[in-house]
Structure 1
Amino acid sequence: MGHLKQTNLITAQERLRDQVAHALRAALISGELRPGEVYSAPGLAADFGISATPVREAMLDLAREGLVEPVRNKGFRVTEVNERDLDQYTEIRTLIEVPTVGRITRSAPREELEALRPVAEEIVSAAREHDLIGYLEADRRFHLTLLGLAGNERLVEAVGELRKRSRLYGLTALDESGELLPSAEEHLELLDLMLAGDVEGAEACMTRHLGHVRSLWAEGRTERGKQHPKSALGAG
């Protein structure tokens, strides 16, 4: 029984660590945690209302993903992504996702594509309701589930990693300006083209969508330079 209790405790700690890591990624994407700023594990833990240990472990996970970097005796600095990085991430995603979408359009059963419609509608609804976390989560599920129809798990992992590293900046400002909704609606357009069997149209839509996302990055960085919102999670 003692071993079982210990195992349950470890599982609970790992789950908390994963939950904190997820919350921190969302804060990075939404702009609550700002590039270049240093945050301490105790400071963030106080905002979460938990001990510093799972926060520190979660930050180490993010460091391995390249999202933050340790700062000795201070905490973790949110890494900044420059324009060259963003261009290269977009180029790689385009090389992977555009032809994959074309292949899926040719081969995927209609019912598997149609099953993605509720997720695409969820993205649009979240954008309309200014639910940034819901928007990002639904967007992630749509893209990775769609790519998963190609049957290549490693491809999905690679794109998932690129998405983490090429996070959106200043999403709050973009949401307030109404710029997110057009990008959200492109998911429904893409799905309709794929269901119609329009390979060329689907590839063109995906190319345009990734370019749109890249422009959101650029605009988000500009807005981030103009505004200095206080982080809801708190700085160290």
Structure 2
Amino acid sequence: MCASGAVTRSTLRQQIADALRDEVLAGRLRPGREFTVKQIAEQYGVSTTPVREALFDLSAQGLLDSDQHRGFRVRGFTVADYRSMVEARTLVIDGVIRGLFCGPVLSVAQRDHLVSVRRRAQEAARAAQGGDLDILIGYDLRFWRELGALVDNTYISDFLHRLRVQAWVFAVPYLRHDVGAREWLWHGHPELVAAITLCDRDAVCAVMDDYNGHSLNWADRLAAGDPAHPGHDPEPAGQAPPAEEPQPRP
């Protein structure tokens, strides 16, 4: 019974964390939104223990700020924060690329893994070209997560995944309110997989330079007020987020 209870609580904790993370990623929980453990527990009809654990998990991932007296608040990211995220992931990925191509060819296991990554790349590119933001976020995060498995270093993969989630949280409010910005979405995922498959380090670097430059150029536009920020006004305090079913991730 004890073991079964531990598994159930752990699963519930993850389900709550995933549901709230999806709300933040989708922009339905805006920066500044405040809520307490009790409010979330009542909203989902569960005890406070798994909710508290889930909220602290999201705080550790940089998506929530916690206050001993006021509860939790959805973190807001600035353009400077976003630029720092891009610069940090660029430095890490540069090192990853050097490590990935330390040999003349990819291993059989790596090539087999790239088959599924290639499918994910095609799905992400289609979503980006179609301007389907909700689908793109899921496929993009999964693409980079699966691609990172080639390096076989969970510390690096987890760090990069956290940066990408935070970057999407920052970007979503802009993209939701600017249809033109959606036409700008990066969709070079298949080109990156093709370059990695061929072990073409120069081509990989070129795609990654385009990807990072694309992000930094957008940061420059945002810093200049083009497009203007759609608004990160805090939502009224004391209201728990709606207890919607988690949106399915691709």
Deviation of 1:8 (Å): 0.8
1:135-174 matched pairs, under 5 angstroms: 135-169=136-170, 171=172, 174=175
1:54-203 matched pairs, under 5 angstroms: 54-101=50-97, 103-104=99-100, 107-109=105-107, 110-127=111-128, 128=130, 130=132, 132=134, 134-169=135-170, 171=172, 174=175, 177=179, 179-180=181-182, 183=185, 185-203=187-205
Range moving further from structure 2, 105-114 or 196-205: 105-114
Give the corresponding residue for 2:246.
none
Distance 2:207 2:240 in 1: 36
Give the match's secondary structure for 1:201: helix
Contact 2:114-2:197 within 8 A present in 1 as well = yes
2:241 is the counterpart of 1:233: yes
Distance 2:126 2:45 in 1: 31
- Structure 1: which 5+ residue stretches go unaligned? none
Amino acid at match of 1:25: R
For residue 205 of structure 1, the aligned residue among 204, 207, 232 is 207
- Structure 2: which 5+ residue stretches go unaligned? 244-250
Deviation of 1:126 (Å): 4.4
Distance 1:225 1:122 in 2: 30
Distance 1:121 1:78 in 2: 32
1:178 to 1:202, Cα distance in 2 relative to 1, 3 A: farther
**Percent identity between the two aligned chains:** 27
Number of corresponding residues: 230
Range moving further from structure 2, 197-206 or 220-229: 220-229
Normalised TM-score (structure 2): 0.73
Distance 1:229 1:92 in 2: 30
Normalised TM-score (structure 1): 0.77
Deviation of 1:152 (Å): 2.8
Distance 2:227 2:65 in 1: 20
Range moving further from structure 2, 118-127 or 177-186: 177-186
2:40 is the counterpart of 1:44: yes
Distance 2:202 2:143 in 1: 20
